[in-house]
Amino acid sequence: MLFTNIDGHKSAYRISSVAGHGKPTILCIHGSGGDSSVWASQFAGLAADCTLIAPDLPGHGKTQGKGGYTAEEYASWLESFVEALGLNSFIVMGYSMGGAIAQACAHAYPTRVAGLILVSTAMRFVVAPEYLKVLQKDFHRAARASCDSAYAPGVASELYHRGLEMLLSNGGEAMYEDVLACTQFDSTPWAGKISVPGLVISGNHDTITPPEAGRELAAALPQGRFMSFAKAGHMVMQEAADGFNAAVRQFLTITGEPI
């Protein structure tokens, strides 16, 4: 892990290689209650094709500070983060809540964002009120329920337990506030104004953000394309890592000049 200072707080991030040197840069944004470790399969499989930079959002992983941001507030924090790293243009790849943040980045900072890879996400999220109550009263139960829903049937136990450990390590407060932020997000009024190329990826077994929501998002984007993976769920970038990484490589060829 590397660290920079954002708003007086020590902020952690992973980087696959030094940005530049003729390779595109992808800013990787994790989801609710998570951290940058969710992108391990992309760091392993895409480092030769691009520079991957994955921050831990405030109050997550090893980044100090408090979470509880809206998607738009997280996008503002990321603007400070990329300025601290000296990045001028990049692709944003966001997973679940991170996909909402990625959309907010493209909407607020269109001259910086060269493309979007939106994973297991949507223009708005449906969260059962009962789940929010469980998050407040019994976080361990809620974390297990989240993991039970996040993977397709037959997933490797290693992936499941890694995901559960990540949620538990980040704690119930971060998870609750992130899920609450998702309930407040709605990009339907402005998603059609995002002009950069966008790739929306879903797993066919995703019960948290169904693929129909991904198709709707891709259709709303002026340059949106949709792709789904038959044997994957909400954690498609891990469950179908090889196919996912191949899709990202192909997308890199249509987003303009390398950074």
pLDDT in tens, 112-163: 999 999 999 999 999 999 999 999 999 999 999 999 999 999 998 999 999 9
Give 95-119 pLDDT, tens digit per residue.
999 999 999 999 999 999 999 999 9
Measured distance CA(86)–CA(79) in Å, rounded: 10
Strand partners, 9: 6
Tell me which residue of 116, 2, 113 sits closest to 56, measured CA to CA.
Answer: 2
Listed in sequence order, the residues at least 6 apart from 121 whose beta carbon sits closer than 8 Å to its beta carbon are 94, 95, 96, 97, 98, 99, 100, 102, 103, 200, 209, 213, 214, 217
In whole angstroms, give the CA distance from residue 49 to residue 64: 31
Using only C-alpha atoms, the chain has a radius of gyration, in whole angstroms, of: 17
| pLDDT at residue 256, as a whole number | 55
Q: In this predicted structure, what is the pLDDT of residue 17?
A: 77
The distance in angstroms from the start CA to the end CA of the chain is: 23
Dihedral of alpha carbons 243, 249, 250, 254, sign: positive
CA–CA separation, 67 and 69 (whole Å):
6
Give the model's pLDDT for residue 18: 67
DSSP for 82-145, written as a single string: HHHHT--SEEEEEETHHHHHHHHHHHH-TTTEEEEEEES--SB----HHHHHHHHH-HHHHHHH
CA dihedral 135, 161, 65, 88 (to 10 degrees): -120
- Lowest-confidence region among 39-43, 124-128, 175-179, 252-256: 252-256
In CATH, which superfamily holds the domain spanning 2-252? Alpha/Beta hydrolase fold, catalytic domain (3.40.50.1820)
Asked whether residue 19 carries a pLDDT value surpassing 70, the answer given is no
Higher pLDDT, residue 20 or 71:
71
List residues bridging with 218 in a β-sheet: none
> Is the pLDDT reported for residue 12 higher than 70?
yes
Centre a 10 Å sphere on the Cβ of residue 59 and count the other Cβ atoms it contains.
19
Out of 19-23, 87-91, 163-167, 240-244, pick the least confident: 19-23
Q: Cβ(87)–Cβ(225) under 8 Å?
A: no
Residues 157-177: tens digit of each pLDDT: 999 999 999 999 999 999 999
How much is the pLDDT for 23? 87
**In this structure, what are the phi and psi dihedrals at residue 197, rounded to the nearest 5 degrees?**
-60, 140
Domain definitions of the chain by residue range:
2-252
Q: What is the pLDDT of residues 197-250, one digit of tens each?
A: 999 999 999 999 999 999 999 999 999 999 999 999 999 999 999 999 999 999
